[in-house]
Amino acid sequence: MSVLLQTSKVSMHFGGVRAVDLVDMSINSGAIHGLIGPNGAGKTTLFNIISGLYIPTTGNVIFEGKDITDKKPHEVTKLGIARTFQNILLFDQMSALENVMVGHHSRTDSTILGTIFHTPKMKKQEVLCKDYALSMLDFVGLSDFKNNNAGSLPYGQKRVLEIARALASKPKIIMLDEPCAGMNPSETDYLIEIIYKIRDFGITVLMVEHNMRVAMGVCDIITVLDHGKKIAEDVPDIIQNDQQVIEAYLGKENLE
């Protein structure tokens, strides 16, 4: 399998805090890659670095062999990296359908002048955009709610809508920040199904997950962060029994 996304020696310092410290991680294309670690381990910071919201203090992010460290968020999205947010960031006053259409933004090339003069090209693009958004809503099973305001949807559907919105940008890799947080078991099962569907669609998945049942069950490979450092990277079975990982989560056994 080829490497799709790679971080090499990435560090992010906020003043004296090393939120991410010299992290090397490579994600194979087609994999479901898990990123776990206790609170404050730097998982979301790493996401923000990859998606271009932060520029790392040192190190590089390499996507498909190209250095994307200094790229702006919208440029990163255009290259094929989409994401969701830990604290859901939907466009609340817009309908579910419009939210997903915003996700398709970087894949339509109509300009502001095109919209003012209503060129045939722009009209065609709008139709294509809407169709694509509808197919994404269908993909995650939210077709019935397309005209509802995003803000009025129940919590679980908001999370799913965020995934649909991210998928609308036709990504090569989708980064899910705690997709199962706050979900009940049946919603979680539904989400796992969606994650498998995304993978079968040919999109690589990088996910932060606190729910160990999900992380261990779904991921092909797991990277563990603790205090900004990578402490382990392996298949779930080995991670489960890794001494360092157990220590990071449960604390060191005091033998004295």
Partner 1 sequence: MHKTKRETKIVIFVMVFIAAVMPFILGTKNNYFINILISYCYYGIMAMSLNLLVGYTGQISLGHGAFMAIGGYTYAILTKTLGWHFLPAIFGSLVLTFLLGLLIGLASCKLHAIFLAMTTLGFSKVVSLIIINEGWLTGGANGFVGIKKLTVFGHRFMNYQLYFVALALTLMVALICYRLIYSKTGRAFQAIRTAPIAAASMGINVNGYKFLVCGISAAMAGLAGCIYALNINYLSADIFDKSSILLLTMTVVGGMGSLFGPIIGTLVIGTLPELLRPFAEYLDGIYGVVIILVVLFMPHGIYGGMKSLIDRKRKSDILSEVTP
Interaction between residue 137 and partner 1 (CB under 8 A) = no
Stretch 61-100: interaction string toward partner 1, x if CB under 8 A: -----------xxx--xx---xx-x---xxxxxx---x--
Residue 150 and residue 154: Cα distance in Å, rounded? Answer: 9
Cross-strand bridge partners of residue 244 = none
Q: Which is nearer to partner 1, 57 or 149 (CB)?
A: 149
Percent of the chain as helix, strand, coil, to the nearest 5: 40, 25, 35
Cα separation values, 8 from 22, 50, 59, 180, 236, Å: 7, 11, 6, 28, 23
**CB of 207 vs partner 1, minimal distance in Å:** 16
Angle between helix 120-140 and 96-103 (nearest 10):
110
**Tokens 């090209």, residue located:** 121
Q: Which of 3, 24, 70, 118 binds partner 1 (CB under 8 A)?
A: 118
Q: Which of 127, 152, 201, 213 binds partner 1 (CB under 8 A)?
A: 127
Residue 63 near residue 2 (C-beta atoms within 8 A): no
**Tokens 């990982």, residue located:** 245
Stretch 157-196: interaction string toward partner 1, x if CB under 8 A: --------xx--x---------------------------
**CB of 198 vs partner 1, minimal distance in Å:** 17
Residues lying near partner 1 in the complex (CB under 8 A): 51-53, 72-74, 77-78, 82-83, 85, 89-94, 98, 101-103, 105-108, 110, 112, 115-116, 118, 122-123, 125-127, 129-130, 165-166, 169
